[in-house]
Structure 1
Amino acid sequence: MGSVANRNGIHHVTAIAGSTHRNLDFYGRTLGLRLVKKTVNFDDPGTYHFYYGDEVGQPGSILTFFPWDHAAPGRLGIGETQETVFRVPEQSLGYWTHRLIEHGVRHEAPEKRFGETVLPFRDPDGMRLALAAVPGLGDEPAWAGREVPAEHAIRGFRGVSLLLKEEAPTGAILTDVLGFTRTGQEGSVVRFQAEGNPVGGIVDIRVAGGFLPARMGAGSVHHVAFRAADDAAQAGMVARLASHHGIRTTEQKDRNYFRSVYFREPGGVLFEIATDEPGFAVDEPVSDLGRTLKLPDFLEPRRASIEAVLPEIA
């Protein structure tokens, strides 16, 4: 999976789910995303880690979940990702409205945001999602899901919105370190865009005082990961965070499909910087992505005991 040097934007979004089977059914069947990797939480290997995306799992298309069957619901609040927005072809919004109704998915009326029509909805755990109708997507490659035809398929992320007490400190990180530009404002929402990257290229900050702090749980976004082309680009971003903003990251962690550092941005949201390299085809061919349980080398000796405690899935 080739990467574009220094292309900025969102790499992936990681959230918490309740029921394992319900999560697989909703994202794989109802939304038609490809399960590109079936692995475990490296820090808690008794829990699955599912990666959904496009055919090859390109950066900017990946939504990942830690499903805990008995997780208590989260509470949206200050210092959290409020909504994760997917891209769909402009002409497909009618198809998706009908599909959400047909599957009993909680949704709201379409609304205009920064000139685009957006359809907000919720997943079964209450996670806030939306579909942005974007013109000109028909020529982009698309994954044909089990039920969603390729012409209507989701084409990665449009972006995320963050619910924060103030915009400026987080905006400074987005523009100075993560490669975004402040491009507009509508009411209390300030838009930042990664130039030249239509996939996962938007972060909206919604400024809201007086809200309670977020409480993590099922339906909550755990963290948002941003792209670094490679280790050198990531190291440069880490250095800039420290020298310009006084923020230290964790040490680099090898996640098999990317290498990551983590930090808490000034508004309280957990951010990650993840390398585009090596990608999801590093341990199985693209044709077989997501079919079998993949474990990192350090967990492979424990495969039998790990598989014994994981919920059985097809």
Structure 2
Amino acid sequence: MSNKLTGIHHITAIVGYPQENIDFYTEVLGLRLIKKTVNFDDPYTYHFYYGDKEGKPGTAITFFPHTNGRKGILGGGQVSTTSYAVPTGSIDFWEERLKKFNIIYVKGEKFGEEYVQFEDPHGLQLELVFTDSGEESKWEFNGIASHSAIKGFAGATLRSLFPEKTKDIMENVLKFEKVDERLDVIRYKSTASIGNIIDLKTTPMGLGKMGIGTVHHIALRVKDENELIEWSNMLKERGFIVSPVRDRKYFKSIYFREKGGNLFEIATDGPGFTVDEPVGELGKNLKLPSQYESIRDEIEKKLPPINVKEF
């Protein structure tokens, strides 16, 4: 097959109280709330998207916040760490900022790049990776200037029930390029300038349990629906169970689970988050899938109230 996956499209996780989620990702990390909508399968649960100014592919992290959900258990078949790319030279800024918000972090280095690692309020493991990859963000918010702001994803770390099987998927199905291997981590790279790294831990890990503080799935990028259908057909030919094409309004996608337990989505770059509101209004209004517009009043009454700091 000629078309390639260019990198990470988005990552979706399950978290706790929605206001805590908004406060952390906007006011602490400085991301933009680019879409306030609901779960396609549960319209009484929010679905938040955060990213750069326009929500470009490779920058969007999304959340299903649950006020009464159970705590998840990190394990095989999950993204264990979500990594963000920030400009080289901004480490002092970010250390001071994390201290300001009383966030405990650890520093380290892997594959020649410095990072700081910490958790969000609901236990999701995050990293800031100091790298020259990717363009500076055009989104400046709450004291974070472009020369320090998050650019988008650096990558993600996968844990697997059967790392050898996930390794085979990464190399021979998804066609990510193996670029390095150190200790118990294999590093894979795609062609995008941002969100182009996936690290695979080669130590098997027992099955995780989905819940608050865990990643639900990782989505990879294709250009358009024609490429998406090509991928669907190829995966089916190789024996994977693949979902029908889902229209998520801002992109179209398919889902499949690999043999190491990880749930992958493959999503189109377009039409993008400005399909139903202009760049200047992103994230300000509750946007509903068309099938739920008739019960908007009921949905708005049941969703917990939230407040988003103006920019």
- Equivalent residues in 2 for 1:29-40, closer than 5 Å: 29-40=27-38
- Distance in 2, Cα, partners of 1:168 & 1:232: 31
Q: Is the 8 A contact 2:136 2:147 kept in 1?
A: no
Aligned CA distance change for structure 1 residues 161 and 247 (closer, same or farther; 3 Å): same
1:306 and 2:306 aligned: no
1:200 and 2:188 aligned: no
- Distance in 2, Cα, partners of 1:53 & 1:97: 21
Q: Is the 8 A contact 2:5 2:174 kept in 1?
A: no
Q: Hey, what does 2:120 align to over in structure 1?
A: 123
Q: Hey, what does 2:220 align to over in structure 1?
A: 226
Deviation at 1:132, TM superposition (A): 0.4
Q: Is the 8 A contact 2:137 2:150 kept in 1?
A: no
Q: Deviations over 1:272-300 (max 9, x none)?
A: 01111110000000111000000111111
Q: Is the 8 A contact 1:142 1:154 kept in 2?
A: no
- Distance in 2, Cα, partners of 1:157 & 1:276: 15
Deviation at 1:34, TM superposition (A): 0.3
Question: Gapped runs of 5+ residues in structure 2?
Answer: none
- Distance in 2, Cα, partners of 1:49 & 1:75: 21
Q: Deviations over 1:12-39 (max 9, x none)?
A: 0000010111000000100000000000
Q: Hey, what does 1:216 align to over in structure 2?
A: 210
Deviation at 1:6, TM superposition (A): 5.5
- Equivalent residues in 2 for 1:23-102, closer than 5 Å: 23-102=21-100
Q: What SS is found at the alignment partner of 1:36?
A: strand
Q: What SS is found at the alignment partner of 1:282?
A: coil
Q: Which amino acid aligns with 1:125?
A: H
- Distance in 2, Cα, partners of 1:236 & 1:169: 23
What TM-score, normalized by structure 2, do the two folds share? 0.94
Deviation at 1:179, TM superposition (A): 4.1
Question: After TM superposition, which residue ranges in structure 1, 4 or more long, deviate above 6 angstroms?
Answer: none
Q: Is the 8 A contact 2:16 2:65 kept in 1?
A: yes
Q: Is the 8 A contact 1:107 1:120 kept in 2?
A: yes
Deviation at 1:212, TM superposition (A): 3.0
The one of 136, 147, 152 equivalent to 1:151 is 147
Q: Hey, what does 1:171 align to over in structure 2?
A: 167
Q: Hey, what does 2:108 align to over in structure 1?
A: 111
Deviation at 1:7, TM superposition (A): 5.8
Q: Which amino acid aligns with 2:44?
A: G
Count of aligned pairs: 305
- Distance in 1, Cα, partners of 2:143 & 2:291: 37
CA RMSD of superposed structures (Å): 1.5
Q: Is the 8 A contact 1:163 1:206 kept in 2?
A: yes
Q: Is the 8 A contact 2:137 2:149 kept in 1?
A: no
Deviation at 1:42, TM superposition (A): 0.9
1:258 and 2:242 aligned: no
Q: Which amino acid aligns with 2:249?
A: N
- Distance in 1, Cα, partners of 2:195 & 2:20: 25
Q: Is the 8 A contact 1:162 1:206 kept in 2?
A: yes
Q: Is the 8 A contact 2:222 2:267 kept in 1?
A: yes
Question: Gapped runs of 5+ residues in structure 1?
Answer: none
- Equivalent residues in 2 for 1:276-291, closer than 5 Å: 276-291=269-284
Q: Hey, what does 1:182 align to over in structure 2?
A: 178
Q: What SS is found at the alignment partner of 1:294?
A: coil
Q: What SS is found at the alignment partner of 1:191?
A: strand
Deviation at 1:114, TM superposition (A): 0.6
Q: Hey, what does 1:241 align to over in structure 2?
A: 235
Q: Is the 8 A contact 2:5 2:220 kept in 1?
A: no
Q: Deviations over 1:111-149 (max 9, x none)?
A: 111111111110011100000000366x63431012322
- Distance in 2, Cα, partners of 1:70 & 1:7: 36
Deviation at 1:175, TM superposition (A): 3.2
- Distance in 2, Cα, partners of 1:122 & 1:265: 26
- Distance in 2, Cα, partners of 1:177 & 1:231: 19
